Amino acid sequence: MTLRTIDSLGELSGKVVLLRCDLNVPLKDGVITDDGRVRASVPTIRLLLERGAKVVVMSHLGRPEGAPDPKYSLAPVAVRLGELLGVDVAFSPETVGESAAGVVEAAPTPGVVLLENLRFNPGEASKDAAEREAFAAQLAALGDVVVSDGFGVVHRKQASVYELVQALPSAAGLLIAAELEVLDKLTENPERPYTVVLGGSKVSDKLGVIGHLLPRVDALLIGGGMLFTFLAAQGHKVASSLLEADQLDTVRGYLAEAAERGVELVLPTDVVVASGFSADADHVVAPASGIEDTAFGASGIGLDIGPDTAAAFAERVRASKTVFWNGPMGVFEFPAFAAGTRAVAEALTHVDGLGVVGGGDSAAAIRQLGFPDEQFGHVSTGGGASLEFLEGKKLPGLEVLGWQ
């Protein structure tokens, strides 16, 4: 593994370090509902402070379309970051320019500044490389060196992730290094048995991962909304459940490849079928082959794996030495349809080896269901980035850090 680390930057005392984090946290009425990504950024910030640097933290939040939008402000994150660090975090209402430079200049050394949402500037996520370079140059004017630590965005070619890293001396932070170490273990000689559990709504989101991992895993367990496309590919009726009809041939190909390779591709044997998509919908457990045979008929909708499937999945997870899980097993946001996700999460805490929660909705699910991050081998901060890495794709934000 080749990756420029913070040590490669030399003496940092008295320097201004521009630190790209991923602080894209969920907010409700201005309150952070899951601070996992903020907590994940703390170790690198602390290390830089210990080395005497002034740390200028940068991040995006949401999709504000290149213009300021108060509901996407990082101001609440500055408060939470200060609480976690135990220091005052200065907040700059601007991302670049004289105002931002003034806030950075006024902050103590060592000390911490958080810039406002990078995506308030159209240059951050522009498709035009010249626009990104111009914004990166404005950011670069605020500091001396760059540390990239936002693993959740390394698959994006954006100004703060790509062009800025090339504009100044740069290195990866502790979070990116830790993520890559775990992902490397999942792709290079994983301890066996190796099981991958995939869920979430769309099979199309996971096609690349399935294709790349089939030659590498011992078992692939399929849950979530994507399971219905697999069931339909086997000829089962799925009523009004989520179905990607355009993916049926691709899924049949994966079922055939799994059989050919001797990989266990395990589908649910039972499903929780509801009368509609709501938290209080009537629901029953049905065999996976009889989803339309419930009282709801063709209007029924599958919202979770059934109890027999949950128990079988949990048993396979616990018996594995390496497990990667990405995507909930059902609509975990509704308590009545969270049992499958809870069963997989609970089993993952008992893996005698490496159990990885693959970020995104999976990470949100474990926290909502009351599981501390510390109970798992690793909780990724990058759902999309993790998946693209496991697909074998080149990630621009890693390539500019020397990763090969």
**Active site residues per annotation:** 37, 202, 360, 384
Q: Is 220 annotated as a binding residue?
A: no
Distance (Å, whole) CA 255 – CA 108 = 59
Q: Is 179 annotated as a binding residue?
A: no
- Spell out the residues 6+ positions from residue 329 whose beta carbon is closer than 8 angstroms to its own: 199, 223, 224, 304, 305, 310, 313, 340, 341, 343, 344
Extended beta strands in 135-177, E state: 145-148, 170-172
Q: Is 132 annotated as a binding residue?
A: no
Q: Is 235 annotated as a binding residue?
A: no
Reading the block at residue 231, the tokens are 């069931």
Distance (Å, whole) CA 346 – CA 337 = 16
Q: Is 116 annotated as a binding residue?
A: no
Residue with tokens 């690349």: 208
Which of 138, 113, 100 has the alpha carbon at shortest distance from 49?
Answer: 113
Q: How many residues make up the chain in this entry?
A: 404
Reading the block at residue 78, the tokens are 């500055």
Reading the block at residue 111, the tokens are 């000390």
70: left (phi over 0), alpha (psi -120 to 50) or beta: alpha
- Spell out the residues 6+ positions from residue 382 whose beta carbon is closer than 8 angstroms to its own: 22, 151, 152, 153, 154, 155, 179, 359, 360
- Spell out the residues 6+ positions from residue 70 whose beta carbon is closer than 8 angstroms to its own: none
Q: Is 23 annotated as a binding residue?
A: yes
Q: Is 37 annotated as a binding residue?
A: yes
Q: Is 361 annotated as a binding residue?
A: yes
Distance (Å, whole) CA 340 – CA 302 = 12
Q: Is 214 annotated as a binding residue?
A: no
Q: Is 24 annotated as a binding residue?
A: yes
Name the phi and psi angles at 73, rounded to 5.
-70, 145
Q: Is 51 annotated as a binding residue?
A: no
- In 10 A of CB 293, how many CB atoms? 14
Q: Is 327 annotated as a binding residue?
A: no
Q: Is 388 annotated as a binding residue?
A: no
* CB 300 within 8 Å of CB 275: yes
Show binding-site residues for ATP. Answer: 206, 302, 333, 359-362
Show binding-site residues for (2R)-3-phosphoglycerate. Answer: 37, 119, 156
Show binding-site residues. Answer: 22-24, 37, 60-63, 119, 156, 206, 302, 333, 359-362
Show binding-site residues for substrate. Answer: 22-24, 37, 60-63, 119, 156
